[in-house]
Chain A
Amino acid sequence: MLRIRNVQKSFGDFLAVKKANLDVKKGEIVAVIGPNGAGKSTLFKLISGYLAPDNGSIIFQDREIAGLAPYRICRLGLGMSFQIVNVFDRLTVFENVQVSVLSHLRRAFDLVTPAGRVAVEQTMEILESVYLANVKDRVSGSLSHGERKALEIAIALGTNPELLILDEPTAGMSPDETFSTIHLLEKLNVSFGLTILFCEHDMELVFSFANRIMVMQQGLSIIQGPPEEVRNNQHVKEAYLGGTR
């Protein structure tokens, strides 16, 4: 579904992503791990179109997407949820998700239908799945951090993606919120066949949740494989897990 080969990105003299390779097959849950500054977020931004790679290829659904605008990539079925909460602050929770559904339904240039009557069911369905239906009328700027993270994911779901990219989906969440988020993602993966690519600092969570793991270090992807293989890889132990596992 997603194939990344030799992707490179630099900012001035700094090489953020040196040589990244990654494969994601349909229906998988793939995690990218690595220390701070390993280039995980940059890689995700390259995939979703917020940055254009200097070199390399990114193939999504048999199509080269490197350098395409984010809206084009989104329309191909790739949804992105950000590490830093990135929602529409003045809109209500409902409106936040509705915007994404409206865009997916190609209603952006509908100038006459009252928005209150469009895409209500789809939006409510998503809000219920992320347990935000009870706060749907609140302005999103007033939500707690955990709720905003959940909303972040809900917005990404609004575009009905086939591949969902999550940059640290549970960062800053309480244990309860983390549990329900992971539960939700598992449900989306199992019931709807949603493919998930995520990065996360919580190793416990990564090893229990992901089907396959890719390890990044200083902009290089050093290994990609099932959790057990990655856990036992000597290079990974030295480079990242510090030999503690």
Chain B
Amino acid sequence: MVKILSTRYGKSSGFKLLLAFSVIILILALCPQFLPRFFVYLLALILISGLQATSLNVALGYGGMYQFHHAVFFGIGAYTVSIMLMKTNLPPALSFLAGPMVAAMLGFIMGLICVRLSKLYFGMLQLSLGSLVWIVVFRWYSFTGGDDGLHGVPVPALISSVNGSYYFALITSIVSLFMMYVILNSPFGRILQAIRDNPERSEGVGVRVKLHQLVTQVIAAFFAGVAGVLFVTVEGSAFPDLLSWTLSLEFIIMCLLGGWFTFLGPMLGAAIIVSLRTLVGVYTEYWTFALAVILMLLIFFLPEGVLGYFQRFSQVPDHSPAEDK
């Protein structure tokens, strides 16, 4: 199973992958039948965080962009749907669509500015612009509720119960993951990975690197917006912390922990982090202490993440340069 999950793009056997996915989806679909409500809620959170981390990984792991502030797009997706549901009489479906669209638009605007720079400078600029968005959300009381956030968002009854929101998150996550998989497995995705490895060389073979990176920003922001919308259906609220850079960092850790050069790594990372946070939270409020320990262990022992680690053993002739370092 690990071998199937950790398979890289382009080399995967489609049938095996489909089978593995079907089994996982079946188990996830049956979960509400035998799991207590709290665990169903927890699973929904894992799915949403995993979707968010996967969307981050499109830019980070596949695009090689220092996507330091991806939570902004998550938060904007959440706020957009909340504000539209609370303050307008538009059909809910439109509000749900608007979340990812507005996030994608923000991705386009921020991307337009950021892709001019590369590596660390890209990351720092994104962090700065993201913080600007955060402070606007944090201070604009009349529109965003300021630091109080927006609570009691009137989510349609069908998807507001624990099981309803879980199934909504499950279906949307599967569809979104599938779409991202298709995109990353397309010529666009292959060239994106080439840009990650060597932007200069990519340009030399006729690739419009900056445009490619901009489109990637829009795609990554769109799916982060989807995750943000799902968060609102599960929690019924949106608050400024959703756009905070500490949350961005947590998503980055999910990618690194699970394996940022694998497709399902971020989802696995999300599962580990969200579960641990809940488990550790029972005993102590110092969850960040545990997070720091995880991060240190990760850097020393699993530089390519959990799935990356297993990939090393499952693909014998395939060794990547990072392992030589």
Task: Tell me the bound Cα distance from A102 to B298 in angstroms.
Answer: 36
Q: Which residue of A lies closest to B12 (CB)?
A: A116
B193 — which chain A residues lie within 8 A by C-beta?
88, 90-91, 95
Q: Is the CB of A142 within 8 A of B319?
A: yes
B288 at the interface (CB under 8 A from A): no
Please state if A141 and B209 are interface contacts (CB–CB under 8 Å): no
Interface residues of B in 269-325 (CB under 8 A from A): 317-322, 324
B196 on the interface (CB 8 Å rule)?
yes
Residue A217, interface by CB 8 Å = no
- Nearest chain-B residue to A135 (Cβ)? B317
Do residues B186 and A99 form an inter-chain contact, with CB atoms below 8 A?
A: no
- List residues of chain B with CB within 8 A of the CB of A110: 186-188
Given contacts A88-B201, A90-B197, contact A102 B187 (CB under 8 A): yes
Instruction: Verify if B191 is at the interface (C-beta below 8 Å from A).
Output: yes
B201 contact from A113, A115, A155, Cβ within 8 A: A155
- List which B215-246 residues lie within 8 A (CB) of chain A: 215
A115, B320: Cβ atoms under 8 Å? Answer: no
B321 close to A141 (CB less than 8 A): yes
B182 contacts across to A, CB distance below 8 A: 111-112, 114
> Could you tell me the distance between the alpha carbons of A79 and B204 in the complex, rounded to whole angstroms?
8
Binds B, one of A23-31, A68-76, A187-195: A68-76
24 contacts between A and B (CB under 8 A): A71-B206, A71-B207, A71-B209, A74-B203, A86-B201, A90-B196, A90-B321, A90-B322, A92-B11, A95-B10, A99-B194, A99-B207, A102-B187, A103-B191, A110-B187, A111-B182, A112-B186, A113-B187, A115-B187, A118-B187, A141-B320, A141-B321, A142-B321, A159-B206
Question: Hey, which chain B residues are within 8 Å of A114, CB to CB?
Answer: 182, 185-186
Please count how many residues in chain B sit with their CB below 8 Å of the partner chain's CB atoms: 37
What does the 1/0 interface line of A53-77 toward B look like (CB < 8 Å)? Answer: 0000000000000000111001100
Contact pattern, B 79-97, Cβ under 8 Å of A = 1, otherwise 0: 0000000000000000000
Q: Within the complex, what minimum Cβ distance (angstroms) separates A87 from chain B?
A: 7
A104 B206 Cβ-Cβ under 8 A = yes
Docked Cα-Cα span, A79 to B201, in Å, equals: 11
* Cα distance, A142 to B202, chains bound together (Å): 20
A158 x B185 contact (CB < 8 A): no
**Bound complex: CA A214 to CA B183 (Å):** 47
Q: Is the CB of B190 within 8 A of A74?
A: no
Q: A90-B320, A115-B186 are in contact. Are A50 and B204 (CB under 8 A)?
A: yes
> What's the nearest-Cβ distance from chain B to residue A51, in Å?
12
Contact between chains at B203 and A111 (CB < 8 Å): no
- Cβ of B205 under 8 Å from chain A: yes
Question: Once the chains bind, are A99 and B191 in contact (CB under 8 Å)?
Answer: yes
A88-B193, A98-B190 given; A75·B320 CB < 8 A: no
Contact with B along A93-121 (1 / 0, CB 8 A): 00110111011100111111111101100
Number of residue pairs spanning A and B whose beta carbons lie under 8 angstroms apart: 132
Q: In the complex, how many angstroms separate the beta carbon of B237 from the nearest chain A beta carbon?
A: 34
Task: Give the docked Cα–Cα distance between A114 and B324 (Å).
Answer: 31
| A99-B202, A108-B191 as given contacts; A92 in contact with B10, CB under 8 Å | yes
State the CA gap A98–B185 with chains docked (Å): 13
- Select A71's contact among B11, B194, B208, B215, beta carbons within 8 Å: B208
A156: chain B residues at CB < 8 Å are 205
Q: Is B212 an interface residue (CB 8 A)?
A: yes
In this complex, how many residues of chain A approach chain B with their Cβ under 8 Å: the count is 46
**Alpha-carbon distance between A190 and B212 when the two chains are bound, in angstroms:** 36
Picked from B190, B200, B208, the residue with its CB within 8 Å of the CB of A99 is B190
Cβ of A138 under 8 Å from chain B: yes
Contact A87 B187 (CB under 8 A): no
List, in ascending order, chain B residues with CB within 8 A of A222's CB: none
B198 contacts partner chain A, Cβ-Cβ < 8 Å = yes
* Cβ-closest chain A residue relative to B192: A108
How many Å lie between the Cα of A67 and that of B319 in the bound state?
39
In the complex, are the beta carbons of B196 and A104 less than 8 A apart? no
In Å, the complex CA distance between A90 and B212 comes to 19
B189 within 8 A of A: yes
Given contacts A95-B194, A141-B321, 12 further A-B contacts (CB under 8 A): A82-B201, A89-B198, A89-B321, A90-B193, A90-B196, A92-B11, A103-B202, A108-B191, A110-B188, A137-B317, A139-B318, A139-B321
Please measure, in the bound complex, the distance between the C-alpha atom of A115 and the C-alpha atom of B203, giving whole angstroms.
19
Give the interface centre of A69, A86, A114 by most chain B CB atoms within 10 Å. Answer: A114
Is A163 an interface residue, CB under 8 A from the partner? Answer: no
Bound Cα distance from A138 to B319, whole angstroms: 8
Q: Chain B's nearest CB lies how many Å from the CB of A110?
A: 4
| A108 engages B187 (CB within 8 Å) | yes
